[in-house]
Structure 1
Amino acid sequence: MTTSTTTEPPAAAPLLDLHALVVAVRRRRRLWCSVALLGLLVGVAVAVLLPPPPTAVTEVLVAHQEDQPNDPGTLIRTDVAVLHTTRIAGEALRSLRSSEKPEDFLPDYEGAGLTNNMLRITVTGGSEAEALARAKALADAFVADHVRRIRDAANAEAKALLDQRDRMQGELAQVNKAIGDGSAQSGPKASADMESLFARRAELTSRITDFSQRAADARVGTPQLVAGTQIVDAPRVVRHSLPKTAATDAAIGLVLGLVLGLAVAAVGTVVADRPVLRREIAANLGASVTAELPRRSFGPWRRRRVRRARERLVTSLARTVRGAAEPVSLLELGCARATSVLALDVARALAAEEPVVVIDGLPGPHLAGRRPEPGDPTVVGGERAATVSHQERRLGVGSVAPGAAWTDLQYLGTQTVLVVRAGHGSAAWLHTVARQLADQRIAVIGVVLIDPDPRDRTDGTLWDGLHTALRAHDERLARQNGGGTSHAVQAAGEGRRRAERLPLGAARVPDSNQEAR
């Protein structure tokens, strides 16, 4: 039976991880909450500092000759468009005896169709009296213009009908004359001509009567339309409520600020590419997340939970440092103060059994500038690391933030625990940290995640990290056993390397060295 050694290519990573994006945006809630609060304050400030000008409103009932029950509002929209013309604005300004230009007056008022025949006119002014006068002048100018257009249309229609009637009356006079001239003739042909003339005269008489009636009806309907177009609601001042206006503007500002803040947070998250989830931080650093420390909280129950988590973390780190055969360091990324406090707590836990010296490699006064308290361990600077006695337990504290002195990190400890603040370093910088530590032959034995997302359910364990740790452990054991590599260690390392080279699902052949061991 032949075992296939072909492995499937890994699945391509998505261009945008929505889970990570949502978590990152939620972690930046201070940003978008601040922007939303700023929008709310701006809305309130606008309502208080920029109150609306005095406004007057009036309603005009507009009658149309072409009114239909199923009119979709075309006629009233035409009236609104006519209202916003320089002719109406100019007539209103002339009635007010104002020297203002009609073009400058147009932005100060607006019209809106409430129904197919109801027009609302809203006008602003420098004072309430000016707004009322402007509203009345505009309404009167619009009504006068509408009435004039109705009468002009009726007169034009009546004139056209009367012109048709007059033309037919002239034709009727010619027919009557022909009938009078042909009455003296006799014969069959003359009789037929007379019959056609009489028929033509009767037709013309009927049409003349019809045109006269239609012309009269055109003028009769005009007074109804004129009477139907009137101001039905006198101009009145619109009262503005400052609390209501402030609440409305605040709500609008809050929504706009929230949307803007979320957009900025999302775009900033995508551009910055700062890992937040456990699996992303572990993958970029090449080390498993072994512990977490939540952020401080103001609630008493949460403070107790954070305190218990800190105690468990200090105990775990103290056990790790105590069981290590080589010096261990704590290297921070984005949490220098928390790392310094954590290092002092671990050193106090270790000092109960053996002397401990904390080597300060942190930039800034986090450890160097602190005031020592009774029972605190000894703290020395990084330049004095070589003077520390080998009988004392060494615990180094340093930084892998941008600007770190990479070559000095090995003097703090050949093994390290990275203390990383979630969402602080970019993916590129986490890769840089892992590469620099590997170049300095500093083994990363775990990652402590500071301020993790409480809703993060991803796995921060690297399953191949165990083999890496074992290989590093074998090499350290070999150095401790006299600088050479024992046959058993070589066999174990070779067996593990051979097992790692086997493809997934392939049969593993027992190694002779492993059997001997």
Structure 2
Amino acid sequence: MTSAEKAKSEPLIDLQRLVVSVRRRRRLWMSMALLGLILGGLVAVFLPSPPTAVAQILVVHPDDSPTDSGTLMRTDVAVLQTTKTATEALKKLNSTQAPEEFLKDYEGLGLTNNVLQLTVKGKTDEEAVARAQAISDSFITEYISRNQAAAAAEQKALLDQRNQAQNELGSIESAIVAEEAKNRNANPAQLERLYSRRAELTSKISDYDGRAQEAGIGTPKVAAGTQIVDAPRILPQSFLKTLATDAGIGFALGLLAGLGLAAVTSVVKDRPVLRREISQHLGASVIAQLPKPPRFLRRSRAVTRRQRVAATLVRAAGQEGGSVSLLDLGARQITAALAVDMARELAEKGTASLVDDLPKTNLRELAGQGPIQVLDRGDTPLAAGERRIGVGSVEPGTSWTDLEVLGDETILVVRTGHANTEWLHTVARQLADRHIPIIGVVVVDPDPRDHTDGTLWDGLHTALRGRAARPMPKPVEMFPKKNGYPTPYKRAKELGNADQPTKRFAPVSSDNAEAL
């Protein structure tokens, strides 16, 4: 698969990598969750909720019906939260507060189609109760007056229609009298039409009178039924409950913010955390991994595991004589300890020495008193049969031209999530330009749930299976020694240092399988 095809096959966002990156940044989002928990508790302690009074009002609707879906009550809640009601309540309280600001201190809620709950905040308990009483009285007064005005307007309209019908009835009566006075010359059809109209007007007048009386009767029912059924009272507040609620809200908000920040930074920073990604970007297989060293407990287990990895690295670089380098990328202490363990493993079979080029570490102190000799870069030439391990770094600021002196081959010790993709590519490119093969990669602090494959199956010349099948060519001295000091070694391409493609075989067909 070419690089272009591989780029097309890669998803825009790798969910597995995203989950692993967020899990690795658990300190970030757990810290933010803890910070939110603390801030929520501080808010509950230093900014307690003000006293709150509650009251319930029974509202009688003239046009109420069992099929009402709460529209009338929603209208009452909207009227309650208007500046007109707020202004009337402020007048009862003799307060100079702006109605717009006062509206923020109370709210209404329709419990049923006829019960309205009022919640009011105040600076003290007495103020909250007084505000609730004033708002309730203002709302009831405005509601009754509005219904009375509506009933009076309806009654007036009915009476006006009755008066018009009575005036028309008077003219009809006059027309009937005038027609009957003609005696024999009277028109029977005209009289019949006048009599019919008189009966119709008489019926309308009677209907208007009845409806006007009913309109006047409806207002007393509304005025008598609309009242405060639950007097204003202070809601009890529990400090522990408030503290737990505010702290829980702060914890949830902090946790969400931390998870979001961790997810965004993992995408933006583009730091590989999976073995598969590290192997692809460095162009070498992962041959071992080490967890993050514990700070307090289980140090002996960590040392045993590191020594086991050191033995694996010795077998991976297993050629008699020559030098190999151990290059650090984000795990300086582990790299130094691994180099000492490898040197001790090699010292049991022959002469072994260390070349210290790792900043901020003391290999001599780690090696202690023993057969391992710790040298500085360029001290003494490599003796026959001597195994030398150069310890260096490929962190930003590395002098790439000095890597050839540390070893002909190298093993990278990479901490997951430490370097971004660009720097991994830079390391792989610089080592390739200097013809320094990467034997393998040791991953430090991997995710415990990372089950990705960190093996490059087409890297036969550096893979362990390829090294076991054929011996690696010895380095060729391209330049003469000067003053007893070795000059950098470079491998000749004709000796097989170039990338050797894996030989591919055609799949076995069904016919060939039967013949076999």
Same fold (TM over 0.5): yes
Going from structure 1 to structure 2, the CA distance change for 1:477 and 1:344 (only over 3 Å counts) comes to: closer
Question: Which residue of 2 is the match for residue 444 of structure 1?
Answer: 438
CA shift for structure 1 position 505: 2.8
Question: Which residue of 2 is the match for residue 514 of structure 1?
Answer: none
Question: Which residue of 2 is the match for residue 309 of structure 1?
Answer: 305
Show the 5 A alignment for 1:119-198: 119-187=116-184, 189-198=186-195
Question: Which residue of 1 is the match for residue 483 of structure 2?
Answer: none
Aligned residues: 489
Q: Deviations over 1:309-354 (max 9, x none)?
A: 2221122234445635311111010111111122222223333444
Going from structure 1 to structure 2, the CA distance change for 1:152 and 1:370 (only over 3 Å counts) comes to: farther
Report the AA paired with residue 277 of structure 1. Answer: L
Question: Which residue of 1 is the match for residue 506 of structure 2?
Answer: 505
CA shift for structure 1 position 367: 1.4
Contact 2:416 2:444 in 1 (8 A): yes
Show the 5 A alignment for 1:147-296: 147-187=144-184, 189-296=186-293
CA shift for structure 1 position 404: 0.8
Question: How big is the alpha-carbon RMSD for the aligned residues of Structure 1 and Structure 2?
Answer: 3.2
CA shift for structure 1 position 376: 7.7
1:399 aligned to 393, 402, 409, which one? Answer: 393
Going from structure 1 to structure 2, the CA distance change for 1:198 and 1:123 (only over 3 Å counts) comes to: same
CA shift for structure 1 position 180: 3.2
Which stretch shows the higher mean deviation, 187-196 or 282-291? 187-196
Going from structure 1 to structure 2, the CA distance change for 1:188 and 1:296 (only over 3 Å counts) comes to: farther
CA shift for structure 1 position 284: 0.9
CA shift for structure 1 position 240: 1.9
Question: Which residue of 2 is the match for residue 460 of structure 1?
Answer: 454
CA shift for structure 1 position 237: 0.8
The 1-side partners of 2:479 and 2:43 are apart by: 79
Contact 1:332 1:399 in 2 (8 A): yes
CA shift for structure 1 position 193: 3.3
The alignment status of 1:424 with 2:385, answered yes or no, reads: no
Contact 1:344 1:376 in 2 (8 A): no
Going from structure 1 to structure 2, the CA distance change for 1:501 and 1:453 (only over 3 Å counts) comes to: closer
Contact 1:367 1:379 in 2 (8 A): no
Question: Which residue of 1 is the match for residue 406 of structure 2?
Answer: 412
The 1-side partners of 2:502 and 2:91 are apart by: 96
Show the 5 A alignment for 1:274-353: 274-297=271-294, 305-320=301-316, 323-353=319-349
After TM superposition, the score normalised by the length of structure 1 is 0.86
The 2-side partners of 1:416 and 1:396 are apart by: 9
Going from structure 1 to structure 2, the CA distance change for 1:340 and 1:491 (only over 3 Å counts) comes to: closer
Going from structure 1 to structure 2, the CA distance change for 1:477 and 1:321 (only over 3 Å counts) comes to: closer
The 1-side partners of 2:255 and 2:363 are apart by: 43
Going from structure 1 to structure 2, the CA distance change for 1:493 and 1:220 (only over 3 Å counts) comes to: same
Going from structure 1 to structure 2, the CA distance change for 1:134 and 1:482 (only over 3 Å counts) comes to: closer
The 2-side partners of 1:430 and 1:221 are apart by: 86
Going from structure 1 to structure 2, the CA distance change for 1:354 and 1:147 (only over 3 Å counts) comes to: same
In structure 2, runs of 5+ residues without a counterpart are: 481-491, 509-516
Going from structure 1 to structure 2, the CA distance change for 1:141 and 1:421 (only over 3 Å counts) comes to: same
Question: Which residue of 1 is the match for residue 362 of structure 2?
Answer: 367
CA shift for structure 1 position 153: 0.4
Q: Deviations over 1:50-107 (max 9, x none)?
A: 1111111111111112212222221111111111111111100111111222122111
The alignment status of 1:54 with 2:51, answered yes or no, reads: yes
Contact 1:368 1:381 in 2 (8 A): no
In structure 1, runs of 5+ residues without a counterpart are: 1-7, 484-488, 508-517
The 1-side partners of 2:475 and 2:138 are apart by: 104
Contact 1:327 1:415 in 2 (8 A): yes
The 2-side partners of 1:255 and 1:15 are apart by: 29
CA shift for structure 1 position 254: 2.1
CA shift for structure 1 position 235: 0.5
The 2-side partners of 1:164 and 1:490 are apart by: 114
Contact 2:180 2:186 in 1 (8 A): no
Question: Which residue of 2 is the match for residue 511 of structure 1?
Answer: none
The 1-side partners of 2:48 and 2:442 are apart by: 55
The 1-side partners of 2:262 and 2:493 are apart by: 52
The 1-side partners of 2:475 and 2:299 are apart by: 45
Question: Which residue of 1 is the match for residue 33 of structure 2?
Answer: 36
Q: Percent identity?
A: 51
The 1-side partners of 2:207 and 2:475 are apart by: 125
Q: Deviations over 1:443-496 (max 9, x none)?
A: 21111111112112221111222235669987733738999xxxxx999959x9
1:88 aligned to 72, 85, 104, which one? Answer: 85
The 2-side partners of 1:295 and 1:374 are apart by: 27
Report the AA paired with residue 356 of structure 1. Answer: A
Going from structure 1 to structure 2, the CA distance change for 1:456 and 1:393 (only over 3 Å counts) comes to: same
Which stretch shows the higher mean deviation, 457-466 or 343-352? 343-352
SS of residue matched to 1:58? strand
CA shift for structure 1 position 249: 2.1
Report the AA paired with residue 170 of structure 1. Answer: N
Contact 2:340 2:363 in 1 (8 A): no
The 2-side partners of 1:446 and 1:269 are apart by: 26
1:379 aligned to 374, 377, 397, which one? Answer: 374
Question: Which residue of 1 is the match for residue 514 of structure 2?
Answer: none
Report the AA paired with residue 145 of structure 1. Answer: E
The 2-side partners of 1:105 and 1:458 are apart by: 62
CA shift for structure 1 position 115: 1.4
The 2-side partners of 1:105 and 1:199 are apart by: 63
